[in-house]
Amino acid sequence: MRIMAGATTLGDLASAIGARGQEAAVIAELKAGSEEAYAWLIGQYHQPIYSLVYRMVNDPSDAADTTQEVFLKVFRGMKHFHGESSLKTWMYRIALHEAANRRRWWFRHKAHEASIEPVEVGDCEFSGEDRLVDQGESPFEKFAHEEVRTAVADALHDVPEPYQTAVILRDLEDMSYDEIAEVLQISLGTVKSRITRGRQALRMRLSGYVREVGEEMGLAAPEQNQPKGTHGSRDGREVEVTP
């Protein structure tokens, strides 16, 4: 149901028109109060919305509460949705707004509270990125991957806004530049600038970690003459530390 931005062939154009027509039909069902349509919406978007929110608030309980609030806002606001953007980008915009509110509330009320609940590795925000893990890896290699992901997550959490959100949407949510521009309601040029600056900030925050554990993890600190975003090599292959 994804609207294809920048369709350049007749086939792409037909697919885009078909996607818009299908989405319009679903939106009409949602506005009519169809329980089946709402069940489909939750099944389709609950996990992506939760994943996005979790990356913003960095707490499973807060992410679950915020995701629930996002869907309540979506259900209540559906009658006011007129298709100015795609359903996906509209929902992501609501999710980012609610996540930002939750994060501000956390800094005001919970920042000084220490959690006594252990965080399992499986709850890591990167745990869903199965494509990053080779099933034939040794236990140490799997642990190393998890440690690197956790380090990237912590570093990304310290990247200032609005660059953090841009990097999350592009590099973790795999959204196109056009979709990000639509979600954030900014120009394409601003999207690209924020992503570039966010990646640079993330790279700077990770450089110390790479130097500290690089040899053990098979990583190397970036050299001045290496391409941007490349952090050394592992077994002759370039290793990226951007998420």
Q: List the pLDDT tens digit at each of the 243 positions of the chain.
A: 433 444 445 455 345 445 566 888 888 898 898 889 899 999 999 999 999 999 988 889 999 999 999 999 999 999 889 888 889 999 999 999 999 988 876 655 554 454 434 434 333 333 333 333 444 555 555 555 677 778 888 888 889 999 999 999 999 899 999 999 999 999 999 999 999 999 999 989 888 877 776 555 555 555 544 444 444 444 433 334 444
Domain 137-243 has CATH 1.10.10.10: yes
pLDDT on residue 233? 41
pLDDT on residue 109? 57
pLDDT on residue 24? 84
pLDDT on residue 129? 38
pLDDT on residue 150? 80
AA letter at 184: L
Residues near 220 by Cβ (< 8 Å), separated by ≥ 6? Answer: 210, 214, 231, 232, 233, 239
AA letter at 5: A
CA atoms of 146 and 84, how far apart (whole Å): 40
Closest listed residue to residue 158, CA positions, set 209, 126, 206: 206
CA atoms of 129 and 122, how far apart (whole Å): 11
CA atoms of 105 and 152, how far apart (whole Å): 24
Torsion-angle region of residue 242: left (phi > 0), alpha (psi -120 to 50) or beta?
A: beta
pLDDT on residue 165? 94
Its pTM stands at 0.64
CATH fold of 15-108 reads Rna Polymerase Sigma Factor; Chain: A (1.10.1740)
Segments of the chain assigned to CATH 1.10.1740.10: 15-108
Residues near 93 by Cβ (< 8 Å), separated by ≥ 6? Answer: 85, 183, 184, 185
Q: In this structure, what DSSP letter does residue 237 have?
A: E
Segments of the chain assigned to CATH 1.10.10.10: 137-243
